[in-house]
Amino acid sequence: MIESALPSLRAWVDAMSSIEIPILPGSVAELSQLRVIEETKGTVDAHMLAEGLSSDPLMTLKVLVHVSRYCTRLSVEPPETMVGAIVMQGITPFFKAFEQVPTILEWLREQPEALSGLIKVITRSRRAAHFAMGFALRRQDEDAVVIQEAALLHDFAEMLLWCHAPKLALEIARRLKADYTMRSADVQQEVLGIQLADLSQDLMRLWQLPYLLIRCTDDRNATDPKIRSVMLGVRLARHTQYGWDDPHAQAAMPDDVADVAKLLNLSNEAAYRLLVGMDS
For position 231, which CATH number holds? 1.10.3210.10
Does residue 8 sit within a domain?
no
In tens, the pLDDT along 119-136 reads: 999 999 999 999 999 999
pLDDT above 80: residue 90: yes
Which whole number is the average pLDDT over 99-117? 96
Cβ atoms of 213 and 204 closer than 8 Å:
yes
pLDDT above 80: residue 80: yes
pLDDT above 80: residue 50: yes
User: Are residues 127 and 216 both part of a single domain?
Assistant: yes
Q: Say what the pLDDT of residue 220 is.
A: 82
pLDDT above 80: residue 221: no
In tens, the pLDDT along 152-169 reads: 999 999 999 999 999 999
Instruction: Tell me the pLDDT of the chain averaged across its residues.
Output: 95
* Number of domains the chain contains: 2
In tens, the pLDDT along 18-33 reads: 999 999 999 999 999 9
pLDDT above 80: residue 180: no
Which whole number is the average pLDDT over 204-216? 95
User: Are residues 139 and 120 both part of a single domain?
Assistant: yes
Q: Say what the pLDDT of residue 74 is.
A: 86
Q: Say what the pLDDT of residue 157 is.
A: 98
Which whole number is the average pLDDT over 184-188? 96
Confidence label for 177 from pLDDT (cuts 50, 70 and 90): confident
User: Are residues 224 and 119 both part of a single domain?
Assistant: yes
User: Are residues 122 and 201 both part of a single domain?
Assistant: yes
Q: Say what the pLDDT of residue 219 is.
A: 84
User: Are residues 156 and 213 both part of a single domain?
Assistant: yes
For the chain, percent of residues with pLDDT exceeding 90: 91
User: Are residues 89 and 167 both part of a single domain?
Assistant: no
Cβ atoms of 30 and 38 closer than 8 Å:
no
* Structural domain for 219, as ranges: 109-278
Q: For residue 103, what are the β-bridge partners?
A: 23
Does residue 15 sit within a domain?
no
Does residue 17 sit within a domain?
no
Does residue 49 sit within a domain?
yes
pLDDT above 80: residue 222: no
Among 101, 121, 155, residue at a domain's last position: 101
Which whole number is the average pLDDT over 97-114? 96
User: Are residues 180 and 89 both part of a single domain?
Assistant: no
Does residue 1 sit within a domain?
no
Does residue 7 sit within a domain?
no
- Is residue 209 left, alpha or beta, with left meaning phi > 0 and alpha meaning psi from -120 to 50? beta
Does residue 259 sit within a domain?
yes
Fill in the DSSP letter of residue 23.
B
Nearest CA-CA partner of 85 in 51, 57, 33, 50: 50
Q: Say what the pLDDT of residue 182 is.
A: 87
CA–CA separation, 60 and 52 (whole Å): 11
Cβ atoms of 158 and 124 closer than 8 Å:
no
Q: Say what the pLDDT of residue 223 is.
A: 84
Does residue 3 sit within a domain?
no
Among 69, 101, 133, residue at a domain's last position: 101
Other C-beta atoms lying within 10 Å of the C-beta of residue 277: 9
User: Are residues 50 and 152 both part of a single domain?
Assistant: no
User: Are residues 74 and 128 both part of a single domain?
Assistant: no
User: Are residues 88 and 134 both part of a single domain?
Assistant: no
Which whole number is the average pLDDT over 92-99? 95
User: Are residues 85 and 137 both part of a single domain?
Assistant: no
User: Are residues 64 and 125 both part of a single domain?
Assistant: no
Among 101, 119, 142, residue at a domain's last position: 101
Q: Say what the pLDDT of residue 147 is.
A: 97
Other C-beta atoms lying within 10 Å of the C-beta of residue 118: 25
Enumerate the H helices of the chain as residue ranges.
Answer: 9-16, 25-40, 46-53, 57-74, 82-89, 91-97, 104-107, 112-138, 144-153, 156-164, 166-178, 184-192, 196-207, 211-216, 225-239, 247-264, 268-278
